[in-house]
Amino acid sequence: REEEERLRNKIRADHEKALEEAKEKLKKSRDEIQAEIQTEKNKVVQELKKKDSKPLPPVPLPNLIGINSGEPSDPDIREKRNKIKEMMKHAWDNYRQYGWGHNELKPIARKGHSTNIFGNSQMGATIVDALDTLYIMGLHDEFREGQEWIDKNLDFSVNSEVSVFEVNIRFIGGLLAAYYLSGQEVFKIKAVQLAGKLLPAFNTPTGIPWAMVNLKSGVGRNWGWASAGSSILAEFGTLHMEFVHLSYLTGDPVYYNKVMHIRKLLQKMDRPNGLYPNYLNPRTGRWGQHHTSVGGLGDSFYEYLLKAWLMSDKMDTEARKMYDDAIEAIEKHLIRKSNGGLTFIGEWKNGHLERKMGHLTCFAGGMFALGADGSRDDKAGHYLQLGAEIAHTCHESYDRTTLKLGPEAFKFDGGVEAVAVRQNEKYYILRPEVIETYWYMWRFTHDPKYRQWGWEATQAIDKYCRVSGGFSGVKDVYSSSPTYDDVQQSFFLAETLKYLYLLFSNDDLLPLDNWVFNTEAHPLPVLHLANTTLSGNPAYR
């Protein structure tokens, strides 16, 4: 009773106080009230800024090997490598001049460009995506310019709805890689600030994140086009590498727990024919349409299972098992040989195999090669061979065009072999996947044909995609006078040019025993977590 009476009195007193304050406020002029509100707002912003930029606890850095090497001794290879560096400089300089601070560049209109994946604010996607490529190419002035922009301008307290997946792979991945390569704290701090803004996307009934989140309000939602309000496998399944690093660098398990929760949930679910459908509803935890793809909507989920294992210094055997199971089902149901003898990976659509392969799917050649070592039943030779066959098929898709650049998707139906049929599948938008596979195959076999194929692609890009204001995608690779799409994609600087440069570098530049590339080609070091302690590690700096 006494307690109740005390509470009632307190509430009464609070109300009276609030009334008094309101009366006082009403005596003030409109301008005075507005000024007070503004002061309050400023205080909150300052507080938030302080909170956001508090120093992170120091952790030992992993052994960072091979970040400044790779100079080939063969003059011909060196010349090719220099040419690729020159292309990077052309792409960067034009972005610097005409698109600085915007997400991407329109190289013909010579102005900034953006798409809805980056929301509606200028987040300098090209700067963040390009940093590590600039670094390994030794373009240090450009790297510093990028760092300065990020330090002064990259701000995540914006009312902007972004793709969780894209921001993770391009921004968090790009910032983390720049941090590890350069040791500059600003990149780590920005990566952690941004990750904090993505966390509300996980507030769903199942913990499967929304595809998009508003960085300011934290409100999330899914793409309107996705089956039955679903989240996308390749999006919520491509967070693991970056989130493990975030927990490592901050000592905060929250990021690790989020991605492990996704994994556990997927492990428990039935899979039709052992295949993972591309769509999962975050409210009900049920699969959407039964579509399975190793290209768009599925691709990097499989890649991250393998890379989670590699990144853990092969300790995360649970991820390796999930990868092996998934790949076995894919081989059984999706991989076929065409009449002409080309191995391709089709798409599974409601019990039917569509004999079509996307440019995006071509990354799988490299993935099979990367996963060969450590494969179940010691099938290393088999997976290396599979990687080589996919590389060959994807090279054919380039070679059978007029421009010697690959179409977005190609068929293996009737008399058609590795050729695009529909007009809206004939474009090339500076994508990296085929070159990515050449590079992995080169690292594992040193067969000179991969450098030759990589050089063919370099020359074709330089001839048909280069314009005076940068590089542009083309709308039809079968036309001898193609039209431009007028977009210089940020992944052209992050991935395409980086993989080409690595293809013409020695293997001691970013060796694969020490580095694992995220799906946007941002290298992250292997974490020998079992061997690290917070102090006394020689790699600490």
Residues engaged in binding ligand DMJ (CB under 6 A): 300, 360, 431-432, 491, 495, 519-520
For residue 513, indicate whether it is catalytic: no
* Identity of the residue, 236 or 417, whose beta carbon is nearer to ligand DMJ in the bound complex: 236
**Residue owning tokens 């929304």:** 210
Give min distance, CB of 391 to ligand DMJ, in A.
Answer: 17
Give min distance, CB of 71 to ligand DMJ, in A.
Answer: 27
Cα(180)–Cα(541) distance, rounded to whole angstroms? Answer: 11
The one catalytic residue among 161, 417, 433, 520: 433
* Identity of the residue, 171 or 338, whose beta carbon is nearer to ligand DMJ in the bound complex: 171
CA neighbor of 390 nearest in space, from 413, 374, 412, 375? 412
* Identity of the residue, 235 or 417, whose beta carbon is nearer to ligand DMJ in the bound complex: 235
> What's the CA angle centered on 128, arms 127 and 129, to 5 degrees?
95
Partners of residue 516 on adjacent β-strands = 524
Give min distance, CB of 365 to ligand DMJ, in A.
Answer: 14
CA neighbor of 439 nearest in space, from 389, 391, 401, 481? 391
Interior/surface letters 275-286, b for 16+ CB within 10 angstroms, e for the rest: bbbbbbbbeeee
CB contact at 8 A, 471 and 430: yes
Give min distance, CB of 525 to ligand DMJ, in A.
Answer: 20
Give min distance, CB of 276 to ligand DMJ, in A.
Answer: 16
The one catalytic residue among 396, 408, 495, 520: 408
* Identity of the residue, 324 or 495, whose beta carbon is nearer to ligand DMJ in the bound complex: 495
Helix H or strand E encompassing 104:
strand 104-106
For residue 354, indicate whether it is catalytic: no
CA distances 38 to 156, 217, 238, Å, are 21, 20, 41
Q: Tell me the three state secondary structure of residue 223.
A: coil
* Identity of the residue, 203 or 223, whose beta carbon is nearer to ligand DMJ in the bound complex: 223
Q: Which residues have C-beta within 8 Å of that of residue 424, sequence separation ≥ 6?
A: none
Residue nearest to ligand DMJ (CB): 519
**Residue owning tokens 């972005």:** 95
* Identity of the residue, 279 or 491, whose beta carbon is nearer to ligand DMJ in the bound complex: 491
> What's the CA angle centered on 238, arms 235 and 243, to 5 degrees?
125
For residue 433, indicate whether it is catalytic: yes
**Residue owning tokens 């991945």:** 173
Give min distance, CB of 133 to ligand DMJ, in A.
Answer: 14
* Identity of the residue, 300 or 375, whose beta carbon is nearer to ligand DMJ in the bound complex: 300
In the chain, the N- to C-terminal Cα span, in Å, equals 61
**Residue owning tokens 């054919």:** 396
CA distances 148 to 91, 170, 493, Å, are 19, 18, 19
For residue 166, indicate whether it is catalytic: yes
Partners of residue 467 on adjacent β-strands = 470
φ and ψ at residue 477, rounded to 5 degrees: -80, -5
CA distances 61 to 129, 248, 299, 521, Å, are 22, 10, 30, 20
Quick one: residue 268, left, alpha or beta (phi over 0 = left, psi -120 to 50 = alpha)?
alpha
Look at the alpha carbons of 428, 434, 436, 442 in this order and tell me if their dihedral is positive or negative.
negative
Token pair of 454 as six digits = 């990589």
Give min distance, CB of 69 to ligand DMJ, in A.
Answer: 25
Give min distance, CB of 118 to ligand DMJ, in A.
Answer: 12
Q: Answer yes or no: is 402 a known binding residue.
A: no
Residue ranges for the binding site for Ca(2+)?
Answer: 519
Q: Name the residues annotated as catalytic.
A: 166, 299, 408, 433
Residue ranges for the binding site?
Answer: 519
